[in-house]
């Protein structure tokens, strides 16, 4: 309250506005404003913008690199899967081929074996037939000679002789089982 | 004891409690704000004002002139100030299109703050803005910008009608509301803006002076003298810290209100 009283008494009035102070205050303010607005603040504004750009750019670059890495990984995994599938296919194919080859070999061997067996059988049959024929022939000769000598009858007449021999042999063959049983 | 008011200029040296002079407590009064000019009209507050302006210019030129993407210490400190104004005040109150007012708000804040800060700087110890002429000059500047922007963005008449007739009120209310709104926006705003700053600095300085004078006045070799003087000294310290807070706060409020007024002039308040 004292300062108001003092003012009334003609002393100092703090609400007085000395023009010199008023204008020098404004001048100082506008000079500071002018200098800062022209020389200092645009610079820092630009720096802050550049920094934001740099940071955003950095983040963007990192994201790109990450995406690239992800793509490469996917590619690699794809290739791996393809390679695995290929390997499996090849293995399967090989297995099938092996089975076929074995089957074919087995069949060929069987056929060969059968053929060998058949050849052997027919050869044996032929040999047997030949042996039998020779035996019959020589035995017939011997027997007729012998019978001729015994009977004194010429058995050289081939047709009769052959008929006699054949009869004899068939009698023998019929008798053989009986004789075998006795 | 406190009733006896003696202008500071008339305090006799050695005036202490309980000595033979019989002088009362020399309570500081408004005369402590009237300082003899060094020369012409260059008083202490004018000198401090110019010195403060110089410091702001030199500091921010040094901090920002060669700014780098990776800031040095000085630039970091400057950037904190810049971002405080841009993000904390301008973008918060006006929005992104308030960026063009950042230089104005930035200058206002630091100009007011350093003017206040002189109040607790040892050797200076005088808040420039306790001289009414300075806050008045700033408030008039802000008011002119407010009026200009309002009339430009909303139209010379629309600006005032928007301000006087906020939508969503019963028609009868406008009879009372319209003049109140007009007075409060056009007259009260600049007046309170200047007086708030001035009065805070004035009162703060007076308070600090009272306790400082009391520290000396009470100092004597007696129980009352020692206790009283020590208490006054402690209060001086406490209020100095308190003043530091008030000084920054008042600079902030001044700048914030300017931003609020600008925001109100750009778009009609709803």
- Put simply, the answer to whether B56 touches A36 (Cβ < 8 Å) is yes
**What token pair was written down for B25?**
């407590």
Q: What is the pLDDT of residue A86?
A: 94
Helix (H, G, I), strand (E, B) or coil at B42: strand
Residues of A in contact with B53 (CB under 8 A): 28-29, 31-32
Spatial distance between the Cα atoms of B31 and B38, rounded to a whole number of angstroms: 17
Spatial distance between the Cα atoms of B101 and B155, rounded to a whole number of angstroms: 20
A57 and chain B in contact, CB less than 8 A: no
Prediction ipTM score: 0.90
Residue A179 pLDDT level (bands cut at 50, 70, 90): very low
Choose the closest CB to A32 out of B45, B65, B107.
Answer: B107
Place of tokens 């003298």: B225
pLDDT higher than threshold 70 for residue A174: yes
Average pLDDT for chain B: 89
For B166-223, how does the pLDDT look when each residue is reduced to its tens digit (9 = 90+)?
888 888 889 999 999 999 999 999 999 999 999 999 999 999 999 999 998 888 888 8
CA distance A68 to chain B (A): 28
Residue B195: closest C-alpha in chain A = A15
For A35-58, how does the pLDDT look when each residue is reduced to its tens digit (9 = 90+)?
999 999 999 999 999 999 888 888
B10 and chain A in contact, CB less than 8 A: no
**What token pair was written down for A180?**
């075998």
Spatial distance between the Cα atoms of A123 and A138, rounded to a whole number of angstroms: 22
**pTM of the model as a whole:** 0.70
């Amino acid at each position: 309250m004292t300062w108001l009283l003092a003012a009334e008494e003609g002393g100092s009035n703090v609400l007085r506005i000395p023009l010199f102070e008023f204008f020098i205050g404004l001048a100082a303010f506008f000079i500071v404003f002018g200098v800062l607005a022209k020389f200092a603040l645009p610079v820092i504004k630009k720096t802050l913008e550049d920094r934001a750009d740099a940071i955003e750019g950095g983040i963007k670059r990192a994201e790109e690199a990450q995406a690239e890495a992800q793509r490469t990984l996917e590619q690699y995994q794809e290739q791996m899967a393809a390679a695995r599938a290929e390997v499996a296919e090849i293995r399967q194919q090989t297995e099938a081929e092996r089975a076929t080859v074995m089957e074919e070999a087995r069949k060929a061997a069987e056929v060969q074996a059968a053929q060998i067996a058949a050849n052997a059988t027919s050869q044996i049959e032929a040999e047997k037939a030949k042996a039998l024929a020779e035996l019959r022939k020589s035995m017939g000769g011997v027997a007729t000679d012998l019978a001729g000598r015994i009977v004194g009858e010429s058995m050289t007449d081939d047709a009769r002789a052959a008929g006699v021999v054949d009869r004899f042999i068939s009698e023998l063959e019929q008798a053989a089982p009986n004789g075998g049983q006795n | 004891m406190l009733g006896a008011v003696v202008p500071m200029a008339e305090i006799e040296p050695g005036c202490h409690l309980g000595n033979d002079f019989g002088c009362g407590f020399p309570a500081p009064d408004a005369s402590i704000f009237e300082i003899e000019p060094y020369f012409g009209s260059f008083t202490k507050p004018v000198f401090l004002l110019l010195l403060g302006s110089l410091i702001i210019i030199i500091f921010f030129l040094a901090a920002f002139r060669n700014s780098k993407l990776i800031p040095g210490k000085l630039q970091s400190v400057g950037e904190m100030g810049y971002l405080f104004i841009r993000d904390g005040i301008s973008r918060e109150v006006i929005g992104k299109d308030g960026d063009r007012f950042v230089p104005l708000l930035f200058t206002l804040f630091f100009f007011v703050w350093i003017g206040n800060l002189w109040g607790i700087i040892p050797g200076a110890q005088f808040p420039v803005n306790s001289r009414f002429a300075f806050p008045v000059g700033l408030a008039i500047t802000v008011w002119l910008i407010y009026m200009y922007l309002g009339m430009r963005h909303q139209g010379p008449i629309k600006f005032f009608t928007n301000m006087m007739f906020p939508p969503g009120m019963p028609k009868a209310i406008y009879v009372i509301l319209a003049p109140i709104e007009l007075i409060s926006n056009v007259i009260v705003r600049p007046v309170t803006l200047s007086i708030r700053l001035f009065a805070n600095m004035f009162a703060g300085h007076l308070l600090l002076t009272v306790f400082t004078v009391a520290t000396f006045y009470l100092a004597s070799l007696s129980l009352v003298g020692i206790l009283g003087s020590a208490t006054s000294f402690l209060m001086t310290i406490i209020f100095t810290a308190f003043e530091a807070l008030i000084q920054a706060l008042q600079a902030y409020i001044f700048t914030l209100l300017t931003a609020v007024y600008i925001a109100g002039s750009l778009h009609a308040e709803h």
